[in-house]
Every structure is written in C-alpha cells, then in structure tokens.
Amino acid sequence: MSSSSDHPVDEKLPAGRLAALGLQHVLVMYAGAIAVPLIVGRALKLTPEQVALLISADLFCCGLVTVIQSLGFSKWFGIRLPVMMGVTFAAVGPMVAMANAQPGVDGARAIFGAIIGAGVLSMVLAPLVGRMLRFFPPVVTGTIIAVIGISLMRVGVGWAMGGPANFAQQVDVPKLVTMVDGVKAKAAEAAASAAASVAAGASAAAAPAMKLPGPVPMVPSATYGALDNLAIAAFVLVAILLISKYAKGFVSNISVLLGLVAGCVVAIAVGKMNFDKVAKAHWFDVVTPFAFGMPTFDLVMILTMTLVMIVVMIESTGMFLALSDITGKRLSQAELTAGLRTDGLGTLIGGVFNTFPYTSFSQNVGLVGVTGVRSRFVCVAAGVIMIVLGLLPKMAALVESVPQFVLGGAGLVMFGMVAATGVRILSKVDFANNRHNQMIVAVSIGFGLLPLVAPNWTQHMAKSLHPLLESGILLASLSAVLLNLLFNGSRGDTQSSVEASKSFGIH
C-alpha cells in the first residue's frame, strides 16, 4: 500500500533548501536530545569528559538512526517517512536507578549491556507490537506518561537547586572535629582510669566503645538552592514561557533551546559559565564503539529495558500513524513493522556506541505539520547534520559546560510537559461510567511514586531486583497493565489506544 515514487514524501528538494529545513528539525529536537546523556552521565558520576563523550555519541547515533529510519535500509528497516529519532525520556527512570545502584564506568557498561539486550529483543518483538495495542488503552498510557513526567521532575528540580536533595546539607567539619576530640578525650580518661585500677590490683574492665554524643552535625550547603542560581533558573523559565506565548511557528517550537541560550548568556555575564573545557576539547574525533569497555549483561536489567522499549514502540506506533495522516502516505503492516524494528536497531546501535534507547521525536512530527514539508529527505539531511555534530567534541564540551541551574529552568518545562501529556490522555478516559479506571490510575500512580518518596524501600530485597523496583516508571507500567487486565480485560478499544499513543509526545 506504499505510494508511488512521485509522492511528496519521496520528493528530493534542492540541496540548499534541504540543509536549511534539516537544520530546522535539528534545532527543534536538540534540547531534548542532549537532556538524557546529561541526566544519566551525571547520575553515573562520570567525569565531564566522559559526559561529553556520551553527548557526542548521542548526537552521532541520533543522526545515524534518523538516516536509517527516514531513508530506509533494506525492506526490514526504516519507515521511510520524515522521522527524527532521539533518546526517549521513558528510559531515564530505569537508567538512573541502575546508575544509582552501580555508579561509574562499571555502571555505564551494565546500562549499555541492558540496552543492547533490549535492542535485540525489541527487533524480535516489533511484529507483535501492533497486536499488543489493546493492552495499552488510554487509562494505561496516560498513567504511564504522567508518572514519567512526575519522576523526571525530580531531575529538573535537582538541576535548578544545584544537585539532588541530599546535597542540601553538608557536614559541619569544625563541630564534628570538636565532637570527635571530646570523645577521644573521654576515652583517654577512661583508659587512664582503667590502667590505674589494674595497677591497684583490680581486674581490667572492657574499654568503652567510642560513640558520638549525637548525630553528625550538618549545616546548609552554600551552593544548594543558592538564590543567584535560582534567579537564573527562573529567568530561563520565564524566557521560555514568553517565547512560547509571543513567538510564532518555528521560533515558538524552539522556545526551550532559545531559553537555554538566554540563560547561558546571563550565566556568562555574571561569571558562572566558562569555556575552559571547550578550549581543551578536540575539533574532530570519531565516535568509537564500546568506549567504556565491553558491556556487561544482566538478565533483570535487560528485561527491565525491554519493558521500557515495549512502551516506546507503542508510542512510536502512534507517531508513525500520525505522520501517515499528516503526509497522506498510507502505511502497510510491513512498513509499520520496519519502522518499529528500527527502534530496536537504533537501541542496539545506541548500546554499542555508548548511548541510549531511541524512538521518534514528537516535536518533529508537529514540525512536519506546521511547515507542510513532507519530504523524508529533509530528515535524512537533518540526520547527516546530527552525525557531523556528533563528530565535533567541542560541541559536546559546550553542552556539558552549561551550568545545572540553567538546565533546571528548561527541565521544569520539558519534564512538566511530559506529565501534562499524561493528564491530557487521562482526560479522555471514561471515569464516570467505569469506576474501575479510577482505581487503576490511583494504585498505579501510587506504585510509581514509591521510589520517589521512599528511595530506600528496596534495601532489604535482592540486589538484582533493585533496577526494576527502583524505577517508578516500570512499577507504574506493570501495575497499570495488570490492573487494566484485571478490571477491564484484554478486549480494549484498539482505535482509542492508537489515538492515545498519538498523543504521547514524551520527549
């Protein structure tokens, strides 16, 4: 059911126009594309150089997978529509949980191993995803997306504040030293008294255990929640809101990126951002596979990421069907499967090249509708631009140099919009005539918030289960799917599931 070669989707535009329109697509997705490597890299406690490597790898793979998806690679891969591929926010929660459990290079290798395994399984599962839509009605998808947004808000707030919540206080070293000295003095007195008793012929008493007379003294951190940093984060937020309200078309679509640029200008002006690391970075470098070493493979982590990828492919189904409507090109089942299989291939490529799971970016689907340009070769050109950006370490170093509090102002918007999308989907759910839907949402959101409000709730459970149980997104997904099966059965309205997946927009 593919269209003929003269369909607007297959139109080859002049090189200059292709480059300009391709750059437009890159700018629309850029802020979302760089967010995930920044979040995961910092959760892993990697060095700035290693985080910059993640950013370069991400941009490179964004471009490579976009070219495969838009241009097509054999009959097995590529939807051959104007699609931009980027790292999905849906995978952030599980990856951050994995990073917290095992930080550093070893943690990165474990994450990449899980991503590679999930990519392979996703390619196998791609033909089945269409049949799984009935398990993801709006009550399920809306709940999942709302929990994704709520979970990510912790990251955005942490950026604005200057770090996670445990950074709010630091040890009062002088007071702690005084306390320790006091304990030592008392211990020395007790030892001297015991020695005198022994000399007088008494039996030796056990030495008392050294113990602080109270909790470790803490003082507020000077950097956490600093008012000048919060002011810049607020400025970024206000700039994004004003651009969104008063700008039109393309400029409005890149409001987050423009807000970040404005925040960086202010940070530079007040001396809070410098380019030392940018100056040291190379102009050109090749993104190499397995830069952190050979990945390690854990079955639970692979299954965890595979569950995420099923949700991602459900989202992609909606994006592809939305693009089919916008471009007027009808999709066959084989073409839809080829597009979904490319999600899996892109995720496999991401794991090999030190980056993360990939899916279609909803902002760019909207841009196709706004501009009316339906040629898939525009996204091919955009993919090439992204590949080039990935080969420029100075660009990655520049992104890594952006202060956290600047990112915080943008993070509140990006992640808040994810939660708002979930609310929008849930607004279409029938709560009046089906009281069970309210129970599904209530319990699933409760499960999703467990790791947020009780981060150590798994401390007495098997370590191998922590990556699964410490992800509120996965807990909410499993709960919503299973409760929906319990209360509503598996005979869902497939069309309503398709419409819900079109509304995902979780980037």
| CA–CA dist 14, 135 (Å, integer) | 44
* pLDDT of 4 strictly over 50: no
Tokens of 98: 């994995």
Element (H, E) at 359: strand 358-360
| CA–CA dist 37, 35 (Å, integer) | 6
* pLDDT of 506 strictly over 60: no
Q: Which of 57, 27, 160, 41 is nearest to 396 (CA)?
A: 57
| CA–CA dist 142, 441 (Å, integer) | 9
User: What's the per-residue H, E or C state across 304-348?
Assistant: HHHHHHHHHHHHHHHHHHHHHHHHCCCCCHHHHHHHHHHHHHHHH
* pLDDT of 203 strictly over 60: no
Tokens of 167: 């950074």
pLDDT tens digits for range 438-492:
999 999 999 988 888 887 787 888 777 776 677 787 788 889 889 999 988 876 5
Name the residue type at position 458: T
* Cβ(90)–Cβ(312) below 8 Å: yes
Tokens of 403: 């202060």
* pLDDT of 503 strictly over 60: no
pLDDT tens digits for range 351-407:
999 898 988 876 666 667 666 777 888 889 989 988 988 888 887 777 777 788 888
**Residue 86, SS3 per DSSP:** strand
359 forms beta bridges with 86
pLDDT tens digits for range 391-446:
888 877 777 777 888 888 888 887 787 788 788 888 888 888 888 999 999 999 99
What local confidence, expressed as pLDDT, does residue 3 receive?
40
The residue among 322 and 64 whose pLDDT is bigger is 64
pLDDT tens digits for range 117-161:
999 999 999 888 867 777 778 888 788 888 878 887 887 788 788
Q: Model confidence at 5, in pLDDT bands (50, 70, 90)?
A: low
Tokens of 50: 């290693």
Q: Model confidence at 2, in pLDDT bands (50, 70, 90)?
A: very low
Element (H, E) at 108: helix 104-132
In Å, how far are 117, 138, 319, 366, 385 from 8, measured between CA atoms? 37, 32, 19, 17, 22
Q: CA-CA-CA-CA torsion for 95, 96, 101, 106, nearest 10 degrees? A: 60
* pLDDT of 225 strictly over 80: no
Kindly state the average pLDDT of the residues 215-242: 82
**Residue 400, SS3 per DSSP:** helix
